[in-house]
Amino acid sequence: MYEDKTLTCKDCGSEFVFTAGEQEFYASRGFQNEPQRCKACRDIRKNAARAPKELFVTTCAQCGKEAKVPFQPSDDRPVYCSDCYAASKNQ
C-alpha cells in the first residue's frame, strides 16, 4: 500500500527516505503531513530545546580525584567519581 518516498530536508537540503513503514506509522497516529527534516536535523532541533545539564565539580571521597556530578553535593554524604562508583557497584 505504501511505497518509500525520497524527500528533501528543509534545513540542510539533503535527501532522505520516508519509508513505507514510517508512512504507515504516521497514518496510524493520524499525522497528515510528511516529515520536513531528515533524522539528523530533527535530532539537532530536538536537542536544541533541551537545557544542558548543570554539572557540579567536587572531590571523590574515595580516590581524591575531581568528579563532575549532575547534582549539588552536600557534606553529609560521600560523592564518588565515575570509576570509583562503578567499582563500588560491582562489589
Query: Do 40 and 15 fall within a single domain?
Result: yes
Q: Which pTM was predicted?
A: 0.54
H or E stretch covering 15? strand 15-18
Count other C-beta atoms under 10 Å from residue 69's C-beta: 16
Query: Do 42 and 73 fall within a single domain?
Result: no
Query: Do 9 and 39 fall within a single domain?
Result: yes
pLDDT digits (tens, 9 = 90+) for 1-57: 899 999 999 999 999 999 999 999 999 999 999 999 999 999 999 888 787 788 999
Please give the residue range of the domain that contains residue 41. Answer: 5-48
Query: Do 44 and 61 fall within a single domain?
Result: no
Please tell me the distance from the alpha carbon of residue 44 to that of residue 17, in angstroms, as a whole number. 18
pLDDT of residue 90 exceeding 90, the answer is no
Query: Do 64 and 32 fall within a single domain?
Result: no
The identity of residue 10, as a single letter, is K
Query: What is the tally of structural domains in the chain?
Result: 2
pLDDT of residue 83 exceeding 80, the answer is yes
What count of residues does the chain have? 91
pLDDT of residue 66 exceeding 90, the answer is yes
Task: Tell me the average pLDDT across 80-89.
Answer: 90
pLDDT of residue 47: 86
